Amino acid sequence: MSRIGNQIIEIPAGVKVDVKTDHVSVNGPKGTLNTPIHAGIQVTVENNAIKVSRTSEEKNVKSSHGLIRSLLKNSVMGITTGFTRNLELHGVGYRAQKKGETLVMNLGFSHEIILNIPKDVVVQCTEPTKILVTGIDKQRVGQMASDIRSQKPPEPYKGKGIRYAGEKVRRKAGKAGKK
C-alpha cells in the first residue's frame, strides 16, 4: 500500500483543479500546469482536497500511485509558490551574466559558454558568481539548474566549478611533495 499516494493534497485559495480522463489541469496565480494520469489511477476533487486512488492492484498501477500524487502536489506548490534553485560559481575569473534569452558564462575555458534559457524558466544573475533559477515546474527548474552545473561540475582538488548553494564538495589532498 502506498503511504504517499493515500495522502490528500489540500487546495489553497485561488487554485482551480480540473480533472480530465488523461490529465489533471491545475490553474493558479502563477500559471497553469498539466499532469498526466496513468491508466488505473483515479483522481477526485472534493472539499478543497485532491485524493488519488487506484482502481486495480496491478504492479504498474501500484508503482505509479505515489508518483502521480507527488506530481500533483508539485503542481499545486509550483503555481502557488514556485520553485527555485541557487547556483554558485567558485573559481578565479568565473562569472555569469544574462544577455537577452541566453546565459553567458566564463568558466576558465578559452571560450564563453552560452546556454539558451527556456521560456517557462527564469534565470537571474544576482551577482557575477551567483545564479538563481526559478519557475513553476519543478522538473524544468531542476533540469535547467542541472544543465548549468554540468558545464563545469566542482572538482575535488581545488573545489573550482559550479555547485548548488550549500553543496559540500569533498576535497582530496593531491600529490605529495618530493622528499
Residue where a domain stops, chosen among 29, 57, 80:
80
pLDDT tops 60 at residue 1: no
pLDDT tops 70 at residue 157: yes
Predicted local confidence at residue 44, as pLDDT:
93
Residues 60 and 101 in one domain: no
pTM passes above 0.85: yes
Residues 64 and 100 in one domain: no
Residues 76 and 129 in one domain: no
Residue where a domain stops, chosen among 80, 97, 124:
80
Distances (CA, A) of 96 to 93, 132, 150, 154, 172: 10, 11, 14, 16, 27
- Torsions phi, psi for 76 (to 5 deg): -65, -45
Residues 71 and 22 in one domain: yes
Task: Say which residue, 177 or 42, is predicted with more confidence.
Answer: 42
**C-alpha cell recorded at residue 139:** 522538473
Domain that holds residue 45: 9-80
Residues 33 and 74 in one domain: yes
Domains held by the chain: number: 2
Predicted local confidence at residue 141, as pLDDT:
97
pLDDT tops 60 at residue 66: yes
Residues 115 and 139 in one domain: yes
Residues 156 and 92 in one domain: yes
Mean pLDDT for all residues in the chain: 92
Place of cell 531542476: 142
pLDDT tops 80 at residue 100: yes
The mean pLDDT of 10-33, rounded to a whole number, is 93
Q: In this structure, is residue 112 part of a structural domain?
A: yes
Predicted local confidence at residue 37, as pLDDT:
93
The span from the CA of 84 to the CA of 61, in Å, is 31
Do 69 and 5 touch, CB atoms closer than 8 A? Answer: yes
pLDDT tops 70 at residue 43: yes
Residues 64 and 21 in one domain: yes
Residue where a domain stops, chosen among 58, 80, 102:
80
Residues 90 and 126 in one domain: yes
DSSP 56-123: ---HHHHHHHHHHHHHHHHHHHHHHT-EEEEEEEESTT-EEEEETTEEEEE-SSSS-EEEEPPTTEEE
Residues 104 and 37 in one domain: no
- Render pLDDT for 119-141 as a digit per residue (tens, 0 to 9): 999 999 999 999 999 999 999 99
Q: In this structure, is residue 130 part of a structural domain?
A: yes
CA neighbours within 13 Å on the CB side: how many for 140?
15
Predicted local confidence at residue 5, as pLDDT:
86
Over pLDDT 70: what percentage of the chain? 97
In CATH, what number is assigned to the domain containing residue 18? Answer: 3.90.930.12
